Amino acid sequence: TERVNFFVKDFLPRGIRRRRLTDAEKAMYFGPFPTVESRRPVWVFPREIRTARPMLAELEAGLPTLAHLPLLLFWADKDIAFWDSVRQRWQTQFPHRHDHTLVGAGHYWQDDAGEEAAQVVRAWFDDRRDSADPATRAE
């Protein structure tokens, strides 16, 4: 699989559901991996995620210490890796959150719905700033 750059040719396009990558975007993804050796991290990474389960469990166990903080939670509803049960766990862990579902977006939602996400981030920060600023609060 590393000889044919499986990640860029097959997996990446399956993770972008709303649109197709342009030729320029594909070139950007192919660029860092011109040789079999340069693609080694791409095919090692999934195995490393699986072997990191103990560390990830430790990180998850610490999430309650952050539960009091505001959170903007994006959810791509066509993600092939993170299912609804994962979203529900995040929602349970963080009661002070704002949810935004990226309808039709896949695992690589930054490419699928980047402009939408950017607008939501801007609005979320604006709302937080406005609600914290006494001069902008309605009486």
Question: What is the rounded CA–CA span in Å between residue 15 and residue 81?
Answer: 9
**Over 50: is that where the pLDDT of 137 sits?**
no
Whole-number pLDDT of residue 139: 44
Question: What is the rounded CA–CA span in Å between residue 73 and residue 90?
Answer: 8
Residue environment code for 118-136, b if the CB has 16+ CB neighbours within 10 A, otherwise e: eebeeeeeeeeeeeeeeee
Mean pLDDT of 99-126: 96
**Over 50: is that where the pLDDT of 12 sits?**
yes
The answer to whether residues 5 and 30 touch, using CB atoms and an 8 Å cutoff, is: yes
- Give the pLDDT confidence of 17-70 residue by residue, as tens digits: 999 999 999 899 999 989 989 988 888 888 888 899 999 999 999 999 999 999
Question: What is the rounded CA–CA span in Å between residue 102 and residue 115?
Answer: 11
How far is CA 49 from its chain centroid? 15
What is the residue type of 129?
R
